[in-house]
Each structure stands twice: as C-alpha cells, then as structure tokens.
C-alpha cells in the first residue's frame, strides 16, 4: 500500500507541475515548448485516469464477487496495471476468508436443518399473516401431503386447527387430536414468538404425547384396580367368612344372637363398600366449570367466616386488593376449603398453629394462590402419592380430597403443586390460567 500511495502522489504531482508549466510558458513566449507540455499533460492525465479507473474496476469486481458469491476470481493479472500487489493480495485473502465463512455457515445451516428434520416433534414457523415460512419433515408427515402453505390449509386435518394455532399464546399448551389411519393420536401444541430479519414469526411445536398418555393411563388403571381390589376384598372377605360361619352353625338358641351380630357386621362392611363406591362416583362427576370474574378478597373473606364456625382460622393477603380471578366460584371455594382444612389438621395440635393464604399475580400476570402452614409436614415417601385417588394416611379419610382438587384445577386449565418439609410445614400452590 505505501508503494501505491507513492505512485498516486507522483502521478498527481506530474499533472500539477505540467499544468502549471502549460500556463506559464505561453506567457513568457515559449509557445512550442508550451505545446509539448500540453501534450505531456494530456498523456499524464489520461494515464492517471486509466490507472484510477483500473483500480475502480477491480474494486467493483470485488464487490460483485461478494454480491453474487463468485468467490474464485483472481486479481493477480491486474497487478501493475493500476492495482498494487499488496491490495490485490489483500482482496484475494478477503475473498478466501469470506468463502470460508460462507462454507462454515452452510455447514451449520445443514447441521441444524438435519437436526430439526430428524427430531420427533413437528415444527413449523408462521409469519404474522399465517403463511408457512418453514416446516420440518415430521410436521409434514403429521399433517399429510401436500405441504401446508398457510394456516387455512390445515382445515383438512382438523377444522379447528387453524384457529388454535393462530390464537396460541406463548407458554400456552393445547391438546390436539389428529386421526391417522383410523387411530386418534394426541399432540401437545406450544408456541414461541421471535423476530428474524425484521419480521415477527411464530414457532409452533407439536409433540406426540400418545405413548406417554397410554403409559400413564395404564399406570392409572393399575393403581385404580389395585385400590378397588383392596377395598372390595376388605369388605367381601369378612362377609364370606361370616356366611361360612353361619352355614356351619348348628341349630340352637344361640343361633339368633350369632345371626344378629353377623348381620350387623355384614351391614357395616356393605355400608363401607357403598360409601367407597360413592366416593369413586364423586371423582368422576365433577361438573364443568362455569367461568366468571371472582373478587379474590371477597371470596377469601366468605371462606374465613365459614371456617371460623368450625374453629379454623387463617390469615390471607391479596395483591392487588381488587384482583379478579376468572374461575368457577363454587369449585374454587371447594378447592380452597379442602386445602385450608388439610392445613388445619396438619398444625392444629401445635401451640401456635399458623395458616396463610397469599394470592398474587406471577410474572405472566396470572393469579397464583399459595396456602402454607407450619404443621408437621409430609414425609417424602408419601408426598408423591398425595394425588393418587383413595390414598390417605388419615384415620377414616377417603383419600379423594386432593384428587378432586387436582381435577378441578385441570378443568380450569391450571395446576396444583405441593412442597413440604417434615416438621417445617407444607405449601400448596394453585396456578390459574387467565386469558
């Protein structure tokens, strides 16, 4: 580059000096000398223009090579014709580096494209107009051919699918059922919003959860059958035993007393079995929630007055004080009352029982209710079974309270979770979905 600058300075200096000479010589009477200087000035000017024009053309070649990805050109023939050697080498090195970066970007693109094409989740990217920007192979197989170009093309898969995907909010999870070859397959659908190239895009993920659901369903049936078998056998076995005793009892005066006691036992066990069946029916007959705006503070005040009659006291805090929860009031009150009663049973024998209910909004502006107590807590082996129907550690407990609470929260598209430490207390968190 220093040599290139020196040549440019010499050429410009020659043009300037010749121009000055061409102006002075005629003034002092050297006309033919002035004519020769003018010819030399013209030649220097044309040479300077060609030299600069050659460099400009080479720079234009570099720009077009980058623009059209023609990165195998060489600038060596232009050396000495206006393009300095150092600049030619620098331009070629830039193209080599740029070519390497493009190849690396292409390798990365192929890697991620292969990765996204091979995962077992369907992925599609939609723009704000509902047109498909990108879709992987799994999603195409899921929806069937031809490949959907826009959301409305998915009406053939399910009439409600375009509306579901179009209105899907971030972090929201929807359940989609697609019939494939006469078999209903369930998918969990989620969405993420992002911007790329100045455009707002939505990434939709569809995960096949049918195998997981079938596994959990089989596990639930095994647990249910185990519970039903246990309860029925506990009731039927003494009845059979008593019936056998009565059948072998010889006729006599005492047979009436034995019969009477046996019938009382049979009645108690039969009644217990009927109560068990009623509890099971209660689990399967929870009504669909009727959603309405509920003033959280007012609802907790009503619950506090109701439970105070039973000697149960708790403190509550609502922030903001005018918070409204969109839910079924009767079902929500049933959940809260059940949880507060459980908390009271866990700490009522302490000298300073304490139950708090805190209602606030999380970072997504959705209502969260936290019921905490300072009771004895729940041991880890029991904690993972508290939502199993009919499982209980209480004497005379039905074991369906928390199961009903979970079902009610699921019907509200919310969830319930429990954390507990032995001798430290238990915390139950209710999260409500709020559109």
pLDDT per residue as tens digits for the range 224-278: 666 666 656 665 666 666 566 655 656 554 556 656 666 665 666 566 666 656 6
Handedness of CA 207, 210, 214, 220 (dihedral sign): positive
Report, as an integer, the average pLDDT of 413-423: 88
Residue 258 CB-half CA count within 13 A: 14
Decide if 163 is inside a domain.
yes
Residues 384 and 313 in one domain: yes
Residues 241 and 147 in one domain: no
Look at the chain and report how many structural domains it folds into: 4
Residues 73 and 198 in one domain: no
**Whole-number pLDDT of residue 253:** 47
User: What are the tens digits of pLDDT across the range 281-295?
Assistant: 555 567 788 889 999
**Whole-number pLDDT of residue 354:** 94
**Whole-number pLDDT of residue 80:** 54
Please provide the average confidence, as pLDDT, over all residues in the chain: 78
Give pTM, 2 decimals. Answer: 0.46
How many helices and strands in the chain, by DSSP H and E?
11, 12
Decide if 214 is inside a domain.
no
**Whole-number pLDDT of residue 334:** 86
Q: Is the pLDDT of residue 76 over 70?
A: no
Decide if 221 is inside a domain.
no
Residues 20 and 82 in one domain: yes
Among 83, 109, 135, residue at a domain's last position: 109
d(CA 242, CA 231): 18
Report DSSP letters for 295-340, one per residue: EHHHHHHHHHHHHHTTT---EEEESSTT-EEEE-HHHHHHHHHHHH
**Whole-number pLDDT of residue 310:** 81
Residues 99 and 171 in one domain: no
Q: Is the pLDDT of residue 211 over 60?
A: yes
Structure confidence at residue 19 as a pLDDT band (50, 70, 90): confident
Report, as an integer, the average pLDDT of 26-40: 80
Residues 23 and 138 in one domain: no
Instruction: Give percent above pLDDT 90 in the chain.
Output: 12
Structure confidence at residue 67 as a pLDDT band (50, 70, 90): confident
Residues 23 and 102 in one domain: yes
Instruction: Count CB neighbours of 349 within 10 A.
Output: 9
Q: Please indicate whether residue 49 or residue 369 has the higher confidence score (pLDDT).
A: 369
Q: Please indicate whether residue 184 or residue 251 has the higher confidence score (pLDDT).
A: 184
Decide if 216 is inside a domain.
no
**Whole-number pLDDT of residue 157:** 79
User: What are the tens digits of pLDDT across the range 109-142?
Assistant: 888 777 777 777 888 888 888 888 888 888 888 8
Q: Please indicate whether residue 396 or residue 363 has the higher confidence score (pLDDT).
A: 363
Residues 80 and 26 in one domain: yes
Is the Cβ–Cβ distance between 322 and 352 less than 8 Å? no
**Whole-number pLDDT of residue 373:** 94
Instruction: Give percent above pLDDT 70 in the chain.
Output: 74
**Whole-number pLDDT of residue 400:** 67
Decide if 225 is inside a domain.
no
Residues 75 and 134 in one domain: no
**Whole-number pLDDT of residue 360:** 94
Decide if 226 is inside a domain.
no
Domain, as residue range, for 334:
292-431
Residues 297 and 424 in one domain: yes
Decide if 331 is inside a domain.
yes
Report, as an integer, the average pLDDT of 188-217: 81
Q: Please indicate whether residue 392 or residue 189 has the higher confidence score (pLDDT).
A: 189
Decide if 337 is inside a domain.
yes
The enclosing domain of 299 has a CATH number of 3.30.565.10
Element at 186 (helix H, strand E):
strand 183-196
**Whole-number pLDDT of residue 263:** 64
Q: Is the pLDDT of residue 297 over 60?
A: yes
**Whole-number pLDDT of residue 79:** 57
Residues 269 and 313 in one domain: no
**Whole-number pLDDT of residue 405:** 86
Q: For residue 197, give the DSSP letter.
A: T
Residues 204 and 235 in one domain: no
């Amino acid at each position: 580059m220093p040599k290139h600058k020196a040549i440019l300075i010499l050429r410009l200096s020659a043009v300037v000096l010749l121009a000055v000479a061409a102006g002075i010589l005629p003034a002092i009477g050297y006309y033919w000398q002035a004519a020769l200087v003018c010819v030399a000035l013209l030649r220097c000017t044309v040479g300077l223009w060609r030299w600069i024009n050659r460099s400009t053309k080479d720079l234009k070649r570099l720009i077009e090579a980058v623009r059209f990805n023609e990165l195998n050109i060489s600038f060596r023939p232009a050396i000495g014709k206006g393009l300095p050697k150092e600049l030619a080498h620098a331009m070629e090195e830039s193209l080599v580096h740029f070519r390497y970066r493009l190849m690396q970007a292409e390798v990365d693109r192929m890697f991620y494209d292969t990765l996204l094409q091979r995962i077992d989740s369907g992925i599609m990217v939609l723009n704000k107009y509902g047109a498909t920007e990108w879709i992987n192979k799994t999603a195409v197989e899921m929806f069937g051919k031809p490949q959907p170009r826009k959301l409305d093309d998915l009406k053939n898969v399910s009439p409600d699918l375009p509306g579901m995907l179009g209105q899907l909010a971030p972090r929201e999870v929807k359940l989609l059922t697609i019939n494939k070859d006469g078999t209903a397959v369930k998918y969990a659908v989620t969405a993420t919003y992002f911007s790329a190239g100045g455009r707002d895009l939505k990434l939709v993920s569809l995960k096949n959860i049918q195998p997981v659901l079938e596994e959990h369903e089989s596990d639930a049936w095994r647990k249910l059958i185990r519970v039903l078998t246990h309860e029925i056998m506990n009731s039927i076995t003494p009845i059979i035993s008593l019936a056998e005793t009565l059948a072998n009892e010889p006729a006599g005066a005492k047979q009436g007393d034995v019969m009477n006691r046996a019938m009382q036992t049979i009645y108690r066990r039969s009644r217990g079995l009927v109560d068990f069946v009623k509890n099971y029916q209660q689990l399967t007959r929870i009504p669909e929630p009727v959603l309405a705006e509920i003033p959280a503070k007012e609802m907790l005040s009503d619950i506090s007055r109701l439970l105070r009659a039973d000697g149960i006291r708790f403190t509550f805090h609502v922030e903001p004080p005018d918070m409204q929860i969109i839910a079924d009031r009767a079902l929500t009150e049933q959940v809260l009352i059940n949880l507060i009663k459980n908390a009271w049973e866990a700490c009522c024998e302490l000298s300073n029982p304490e139950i708090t209910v805190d209602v606030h909004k999380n970072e997504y502006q959705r209502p969260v209710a936290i019921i905490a107590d300072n009771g004895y807590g729940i041991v880890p082996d029991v904690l993972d079974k508290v939502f199993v129907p009919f499982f209980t550690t209480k004497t005379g407990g039905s074991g369906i309270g928390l199961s009903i609470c979970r079902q009610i929260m699921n019907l509200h598209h919310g969830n319930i979770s429990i954390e507990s430490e032995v001798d430290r207390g238990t915390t139950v968190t209710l999260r409500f979905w709020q559109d």
